[in-house]
Chain A
Amino acid sequence: METDCTPTTNQKNEPAQNPNYNWKDITPEFFESIKDLELGELLHGYFFGLFEAMSAIEIMDPKMDAGMMCNRESNSIKLEDLKLSGLSVSEQISIIDITLACLVSWLEGHSLAQTVFTNLYFQKPYEIKDIPLKAFCICIYKIIESIRDFANRAQVFEEEDFQAALYNYHFFNEISDQRVIGMMREVDESINHILKSNSNCDEESYLALNTRIKFVRLLLQILLSFNRRESHSNLMGETQRLLTTCGLLIPSLIKTVNKGVPNIDHCYYDLGFDPLINQKLLPPTFPRYTKIKTAAEAYLYFDALLTRLKQICKLTNCVSYISALECFIELGHNSHLCIVSRSIMQTLYFPQPNKVFGTQDLGDCLREWAKSFIAPPSLISRLGILTNYQAKDCVHNFFEHCIRPFTGLIQTCGYNKARQRDKLAHLMEEFSALQDESQRIDAFLHSFSSKLDPPKEHLASFSTWIIYHTIRIMIMYLLSGFELELYSAHEYQYIYWYLYQFLYGWLVSTLNRADNVLLGSNSYVDFQKNKTKRNKPKKKKTHPYSQEIVMCHAMQSLTGAYFKTFIGFQLEGKIQTPKHAKFDNERVRYQHRFSAFSAVSVPPPFTYNEFQMTRNQIRDNASADPGILYLNGCELFHQARCLLDTIQQPHSQQVQNLIKVCKTNFVTMKLLASGYMRGPGVSLDFDFTTNSHFPILKLS
């Protein structure tokens, strides 16, 4: 570690702090003394007990003691013996491939010390005589720095998905990003020059090296181009061009992995990689065993990353808050997002805190969104309610208070799925507090709007807007349980029941209210010859929320179908409910699943008894015949499908998948209802591959 990168600073000064010990050997005495203790007795001080003892790291336990590894003989070459010049092209290709694979492993949650920095060349990049490798190393340093910057600014990572620690490695701040890109370009040119001037060189290998250099340079350029303080859709053109160029290199990169050193597993250490070099730097946590990916896998990862980044570019077109939120949710659904894409999404939308795309204040953005959602009279400047300073203050404060929960909602979409669920539960509390406030200021502002000519209704304006978000969050919370595979089959009943009976129903009524208000105010605006600039609902007299309402109705039918079907399955004994366990009966589970909803006052939480009542009623109506319930389910699946069909073309991928789920389940239920595939011999299976929330039912 005696190099320019040595993490010395916090270690060299330690001896000064250390007192000068005067050690005395007490080994025999000690081992003699402990014989006096009883078996199982702990001898300890007053402030130390078994409880504290439990949290100790056990030395020499392979699962807890990371230090155990350090004293093993390392297979790798010594740092002094590292080949700094005259590296063959294939050696350079291999080093680059392995390092990029290390980079990917880092992005998947391992520490830098165990991935990229196991490359010994990173200890002293300045001393490398082979320019391509030198430039590559410095460029990777810059890429790491850039990714860390995104992650640290976005703050959407948890210890399980990203390790930002640098372990005091030195980061070449003296070289600017532009200089690094320039260096990479020079390398690019010089390799081209070699190719032209020297006809008997191994052309393919040089080309492969050249492609790698180009790829890494483009990667850095892409990251830098996302890192603007202000992001506009017209500026994204350059980024998209870079993304496309970079993506085109991937196939040839994968094809040329074999141009590296043959038999890579044997040469791993000779190429200058030492997995144990940083062992001393690791924190005293559990040792993590890092398996580095293969180069081909790593390039596939980069390919997927580039695709994701391309999708993320679309975010800059989302001017309104809700369209951005939908974009965040949609991207979260579609693909498994990595830490880079999750962080970049956040920093793209909020390059600075509370500044949408770095230009618009979030408060203003939310105002716009509330205005277009339900047109509260107080926000329509023509009506002049805000000329009253009290009203103005009140509205201003309300939107100030909105900023935190609404930012939180965007940020929540950036977290990994498991953490998202926790954060959604917290958001419910925050939105519940906003509900109270919104109701109060609605009542207050109503006193102004009712005096207008003609009088305007202000009640349930802001509150409807807040409730809309609350219900959306509740739905997201329940559905996320399917993605995380938290629920067991016998729980599906009440989850779908809650969605069917309450959440989607409320969402529909919320949207209807907003729809009616907008239609009312629109006709008034039309009457005023559309003076105001708001031209949000596209055509006159169309219901602005008709599409969303249809979608909600479809979801309601779909969840209802599942609810009825699952009661049928239960009656038939295909799904078993735990009955006798004291702590794991249906009531306990139910209360646990919906405990987060108790924070929300509107809509109120519903108890287990209510669920039981509904279920019994439905059972009685079907006279406990599963066949009738299957028939009900079958009808509802069909209804859901018909509703989905009426949604505007072209259908998004999500709608297409839902239609497929409805279709398939419709056929299955029809079979079941007509008496086929019944009986104890038929086993039931749920296939969540088409849609992660709504399974395809499989019988076999």
Chain B
Amino acid sequence: METENQNFQKSSMCSFVPEQEYTEGRRKLMSWLNQQMKIHLLDGRVLVGTFVCTDKDAHIILSSCYEYFNEKDLDTGESRLLGLVMIPGRHIISIHTDVQQTSEQSINTSNSDQT
């Protein structure tokens, strides 16, 4: 978790836009980086992986991505490991992030801040 936070900080540092000029949207996208993400596709498949990259057209890249053939498989866990995938925005129905992890992360962050 901590390395992920470092990534996050570094990525904001190396970006060309100065930090104070970040828009609300950018800030949100940054906060989702390296989070688990669940994406429903038009053909019914569900992809779960770590969000690592996107662009203006919502091309999303997930790493260590698992493919579930339908909603039902998500419960049974019957999946196929795909690895790194790029999902064109036009095939996406919905996007979810894992809130639990985010909150855990924020707790971790606050912990590390205290120490």
Which A residues are closer than 8 A to B by beta carbons? Answer: 11-12, 14-15, 18-27, 29-48, 52-53, 55-60, 67-68, 70-71, 280-282, 284
What residues of chain B lie closer than 8 Å to A68, measured between beta carbons?
Answer: 43
> CB distance B83 to A57 under 8 Å?
yes
Cα distance A31–B59 in the bound complex, in angstroms: 11
Chain B residue with the shortest CB-CB distance to A25: B96
A-contact bits for B2-35, CB 8 A (1 contact / 0 none)? 0000111011001000000001111011101110
> CB distance B56 to A15 under 8 Å?
no
B105 within 8 A of A: no
Closest 7 CB pairs of A and B: A36-B25, A33-B25, A15-B77, A22-B100, A23-B96, A56-B86, A46-B10
> CB distance B69 to A280 under 8 Å?
yes
> CB distance A45 to B80 under 8 Å?
no
Cβ-neighbour of B44 out of A22, A55, A71 (below 8 A): A71
B11 to chain A, nearest CB (A): 5
Cα distance A44–B50 in the bound complex, in angstroms: 12
> CB distance B100 to A40 under 8 Å?
no
- The verdict on A23 contacting B43 (CB below 8 Å), with A42-B53, A280-B80 known, is no
A412 to chain B, nearest CB (A): 33
Cβ-neighbour of B79 out of A14, A22, A71 (below 8 A): A14
Task: Provide the main secondary structure of the chain A interface.
Answer: mixed
What residues of chain B lie closer than 8 Å to A11, measured between beta carbons?
Answer: 77-79
Contact residues of B between 30 and 87, Cβ < 8 Å to A: 30, 32-34, 36, 38, 41, 43-45, 47-48, 52-58, 61, 63, 67, 69-70, 76-87
Identify 5 residue pairs between A and B in the complex whose beta-carbon atoms are under 8 Å apart, listed by A's number.
A26-B95, A31-B58, A58-B88, A67-B45, A67-B69
Number of residues from B at the complex interface, CB < 8 A:
60
Cα distance A116–B75 in the bound complex, in angstroms: 31
B1 within 8 A of A: no
What residues of chain B lie closer than 8 Å to A70, measured between beta carbons?
Answer: 45, 69
Task: Contacts A282-B80, A284-B81 known; list 4 others, CB within 8 Å.
Answer: A23-B96, A44-B52, A48-B52, A67-B82
> CB distance B86 to A41 under 8 Å?
no
Chain A residue with the shortest CB-CB distance to B28: A33
> CB distance B11 to A30 under 8 Å?
no
Cβ-neighbour of A43 out of B55, B86, B88, B97 (below 8 A): B55
Cβ-neighbour of B86 out of A22, A38, A48, A59 (below 8 A): A59
Cα distance A58–B67 in the bound complex, in angstroms: 13
> CB distance B91 to A39 under 8 Å?
no
What residues of chain B lie closer than 8 Å to A48, measured between beta carbons?
Answer: 52-53, 61, 63
A58 to chain B, nearest CB (A): 5
> CB distance B36 to A21 under 8 Å?
yes
> CB distance A45 to B77 under 8 Å?
no
B102 to chain A, nearest CB (A): 8
Chain A residue with the shortest CB-CB distance to B30: A43
Chain B residue with the shortest CB-CB distance to A22: B100
What residues of chain A lie closer than 8 Å to B80, measured between beta carbons?
Answer: 67, 280-282, 284
> CB distance A45 to B33 under 8 Å?
yes
Cα distance A626–B51 in the bound complex, in angstroms: 68
> CB distance A22 to B99 under 8 Å?
yes
B18 to chain A, nearest CB (A): 15
- The verdict on A47 contacting B7 (CB below 8 Å), with A21-B36, A280-B80, A284-B80 known, is yes
Cβ-neighbour of B99 out of A19, A24, A33 (below 8 A): A24
Cα distance A33–B95 in the bound complex, in angstroms: 13
B2 to chain A, nearest CB (A): 14
- The verdict on A60 contacting B25 (CB below 8 Å), with A34-B55, A37-B55 known, is no
> CB distance A40 to B23 under 8 Å?
no
What residues of chain A lie closer than 8 Å to B98, measured between beta carbons?
Answer: 19, 21-24
Cβ-neighbour of A45 out of B8, B43, B56 (below 8 A): B8
Cβ-neighbour of A53 out of B36, B45, B53, B87 (below 8 A): B53
B94 within 8 A of A: yes
B15 to chain A, nearest CB (A): 9
Cβ-neighbour of B85 out of A26, A32, A52, A56 (below 8 A): A56
What residues of chain B lie closer than 8 Å to A38, measured between beta carbons?
Answer: 56
Chain A residue with the shortest CB-CB distance to B103: A22
What residues of chain A lie closer than 8 Å to B52, measured between beta carbons?
Answer: 44-45, 48, 52
Cα distance A71–B87 in the bound complex, in angstroms: 17
Cα distance A284–B63 in the bound complex, in angstroms: 13
> CB distance A56 to B36 under 8 Å?
no
Cα distance A15–B99 in the bound complex, in angstroms: 19
What residues of chain B lie closer than 8 Å to A47, measured between beta carbons?
Answer: 7
Chain A residue with the shortest CB-CB distance to B58: A34
B24 to chain A, nearest CB (A): 8
B23 to chain A, nearest CB (A): 5
Cα distance A25–B33 in the bound complex, in angstroms: 16
Cβ-neighbour of A33 out of B29, B61, B79, B84 (below 8 A): B29
Cα distance A60–B82 in the bound complex, in angstroms: 13
Cα distance A282–B67 in the bound complex, in angstroms: 12
What residues of chain A lie closer than 8 Å to B53, measured between beta carbons?
Answer: 42-45, 48, 53
> CB distance B41 to A56 under 8 Å?
no
Cβ-neighbour of B100 out of A20, A41, A56 (below 8 A): A20
What residues of chain B lie closer than 8 Å to A284, measured between beta carbons?
Answer: 67, 80-83
What residues of chain A lie closer than 8 Å to B86, measured between beta carbons?
Answer: 53, 56-59
> CB distance B77 to A18 under 8 Å?
yes
